[in-house]
Amino acid sequence: MNFLLPLTGSFAQPAAENPTVAMIEAAYQHHGLDWRYINVEVAPDDLGDAVRGARAMGWRGFNCSIPHKVAVIEYLDGLGASAEIIGAVNTIVRDGDRLIGENTDGRGFVAALREVVDPKDKSIVLFGAGGAARAVAVEMALAGAARITVVNRSADRGKAVVDVLKNRTATQAVYAPWQGTFTVPKDTDIVIHATSVGLYPDVNAIPDIDTDSLTPDMVVADGIHNPPLTRLLKAAQERGCKTVDGLGMLVQQGVIGVKYWTGVDVDPQVMREALLILRL
């Protein structure tokens, strides 16, 4: 008998509202993996100690969420290819004695989106320029998107994402200012909302987008996972659009993370059902 169980987990602040532990442990149990996932609240000043502790205790890997996705990089031994381009990490993988930073946010979004539409050769309008938006933009570009328009209120942050796309990927990228209500261009194939507007507890909020400019041939995706059916997605469905919710992205990035740690391809439906039970 072996009572030394492989450990994984998450470092964040705040951590109490992070449902990742529920879906990861459901996957472990479903696939007969006697592993554990520990949700830990870690203050920014304690991040270095937390990483050193995980290293010393032989953790197989861990997630980093807000506010640690950039700060954790200095405590790691290397970065995966897309994480290096994005400049942020959300998944840390043990490789022998080394801790390698990966970013599964964008890849999870692409995987969820592909269940409805392949981003290859598509024209995309992306709202937001924060860490999540940056990850989504890079992975969409690496997946072959023809053109990405980054819409953001801060021109500096929006143009910074565009510069990364232009300098590190083959996609066409432009910045569009978000001043007042934004009208989505008619030639758009995919609309992606990647800001925090609409996140619990502000569930009645909706990004300042002219929903009348959405057309049935557009796919609308929202990165908000709590609640999964945001006001933006409801409006898009009323306009006849196909939609992708943030719960799908959360599940798919978890699938990728567990694969990194355990080598097992877990069932995403098991993870999604574990989250649905929580009634987020």
pLDDT at residue number 96: 95
- Which residue stretches of the chain have pLDDT < 50? none
> Tens of pLDDT along 202-223?
999 999 999 999 999 999 999 9
Catalytic residue check, 159:
no
Distance CA 238, CA 228 (A): 16
- pTM (whole model) above 0.85: yes
CA distance 160 to 199: 25
How high is the pLDDT of residue 200?
A: 82
**Per-residue model confidence (pLDDT) at position 279:** 82
What tokens appear for 36 in the block?
């554990």
Q: How far apart are the first and last CA of the chain?
A: 38
**Per-residue pLDDT, 226:** 85
- Which strands sit side by side in the sheet containing 91-95, from one edge to the other? 36-41, 7-12, 61-64, 91-95, 98-102, 78-79
Token digits for 203? Answer: 């569930």
Please give the pLDDT value at position 131.
Answer: 84
| Cβ contacts of 205 within 8 Å, gap of 6 or more | 197, 198, 231
Catalytic residue among 69, 120, 234, 259: 69
